[in-house]
Amino acid sequence: MIGPDPAGWPTRYATIDRIGGLALVVLALGVVWEARTLPFGTLHNPGPGFAPTLLAVALGVFAILIIAVGGHSPPLSALTWGEGTHALAILGASAFAALILERLGYRLTMLLVLVFLLGVVERKRPLTVAALSIVLSFGSFYLFHNLLKVQLPRGPLGF
């Protein structure tokens, strides 16, 4: 994703490695906080909280190392987010699928996801959108559910 450090940025503080490392430190602290409710046991007889705490500490140590040596990585501003809108739309479609898959059934859910991605995000012609959405949603259901006997959810209308 990121090319080699072209030099000239070592003095900047907000490099991608440092920001990434910082996020991992926060995550490690969060895990340690969450693991406090689990019985830790002792060093010689570890409980269920022992390994998560130990791993969170290890994650924190590695993250601090990343921050410590991360001064030479490219600055945060070198990251480009040109595909960000697409990425958000696709993530939204995935979340939508998770939300309604068992309510509407596989075929209708996938039909809606495909219409959204092909028609709204990619702005394909309505005929192309309709044809591809129907073929893919119903075709994949037939292939996996009917032929390969994979259990897929059906909605209230039998779809």
CA atoms within 13 A on the CB side of 57: 7
Tell the smallest beta-carbon distance from residue 159 to other proteins (Å): 15
Tell the smallest beta-carbon distance from residue 89 to other proteins (Å): 9
Between 10 and 157, CB nearer to other proteins = 10
Between 69 and 158, CB nearer to other proteins = 69
**What is the rounded CA–CA span in Å between residue 85 and residue 83?**
6
Instruction: Indicate the DSSP class of residue 60.
Output: H
CB burial of residue 110 (10 Å; 0-12, 13-18, 19+): buried
- Three-class SS string for 71-110? HHCCEHHHCCCCCHHHHHHHHHHHHHHHHHHHHHEHHHHH
Between 11 and 45, CB nearer to other proteins = 45
Tell the smallest beta-carbon distance from residue 83 to other proteins (Å): 3
Tell the smallest beta-carbon distance from residue 13 to other proteins (Å): 16
Between 27 and 158, CB nearer to other proteins = 27
